[in-house]
Chain A
Amino acid sequence: GAVVSQHPSWVICKSGTSVKIECRSLDFQATTMFWYRQFPKQSLMLMATSNEGSKATYEQGVEKDKFLINHASLTLSTLTVTSAHPEDSSFYICSARDPGTSYNEQFFGPGTRLTVL
């Protein structure tokens, strides 16, 4: 199946700093990528939908000025957590929709575990 990578796989930062997470589709072009957040023992929560070349669509309750998303190419989307605080500590997962599959399956990256001290 299609492969999606994420970098870094884990990051620890101080409160108030910004963290950038990269999501890449390695063997297909993804016009649409998704960013999820998952707190312990909870399900995935969609944060935003990222379309190549246009502004991201944020879910209700997600601050777009705090979670900056850039989808500058068909294989790369980035999520920047600005002025991170301890409550932003979570598991962030991206996925990319492969238009080549018959049902537009989403392929997930391995996730990034963010810990804000």
Chain B
Amino acid sequence: GQNIDQPTEMTATEGAIVQINCTYQTSGFNGLFWYQQHAGEAPTFLSYNVLDGLEEKGRFSSFLSRSKGYSYLLLKELQMKDSASYLCAVVDSNYQLIWGAGTKLIIKP
């Protein structure tokens, strides 16, 4: 079966750095998305990785290792507004999005 694993919840301090991991086992791979979702709102796009390596975009970076079935989202200089759920989603061989359950990130002052 297809499976996406991410931690359920993480806590970090304002100004710090946090890494949210995602491991996956899917039928085929055509890229991995990270989305941010605030409570009661729809997901918003953060990043897309299809090749191995690190993609940096401002305070957020995303890493992919296809051989290990592993990705992480790195958030730097955390701000209170970063408190949200972070969803990892893999595009499978049928170009369908397979979603992880999301990681709830709590930022403390």
Q: A residues within 8 Å of B by Cβ?
A: 1, 34, 42-46, 49, 91, 93, 103-111, 113
- Contact for A43 among B33, B48, B101, CB less than 8 A: B101
Is B7 on the interface with A (CB-CB < 8 A)?
A: no
A-B contacts, 28 of them at CB < 8 A, read A1-B45, A42-B101, A43-B99, A43-B101, A43-B102, A44-B43, A44-B87, A44-B99, A45-B99, A46-B97, A46-B99, A93-B42, A93-B43, A103-B31, A103-B48, A103-B50, A103-B91, A104-B95, A105-B33, A105-B48, A106-B97, A108-B42, A108-B43, A108-B44, A109-B42, A110-B41, A111-B42, A113-B40
- Nearest residue, chain A, Cβ from B104: A41
B residues near A (Cβ < 8 Å) are: 31, 33, 35, 40-45, 48, 50, 87, 91, 95-97, 99-102
B42 and A46: CB pair below 8 A? Answer: no
CA A105 to CA B43, docked complex, whole Å: 12
Q: How many residue pairs, one in A and one in B, have C-beta atoms under 8 Å apart?
A: 40
**Given contacts A43-B87, A43-B101, A104-B95, is CB(A110)–CB(B42) below 8 Å?**
yes
In this complex, what residue of B is CB-closest to A42? B101
When the two chains form the complex, which single residue of A1, A43, A103, A111 contacts B41, counting CB atoms closer than 8 Å?
A111
Residues of A within 8 A of B99 (CB): 43-46
Bound together, the chains give a CA A91 to CA B85 distance in angstroms of 15
Distance (Å) between the CB of A38 and the closest chain B CB?
9
Q: How far is the CB of B102 from chain A (nearest CB, A)?
A: 5
Q: How far is the CB of A59 from chain B (nearest CB, A)?
A: 9
The docked-state distance in angstroms from the alpha carbon of A104 to that of B31 is 10
- Residues of the B chain whose Cβ atoms lie less than 8 Å from the Cβ of A103: 31, 48, 50, 91
Known: A103-B48, A103-B50, A105-B48. A46 touches B96 (CB 8 A): yes
CB contacts (< 8 Å) of B97 on chain A: these are: 34, 46, 106
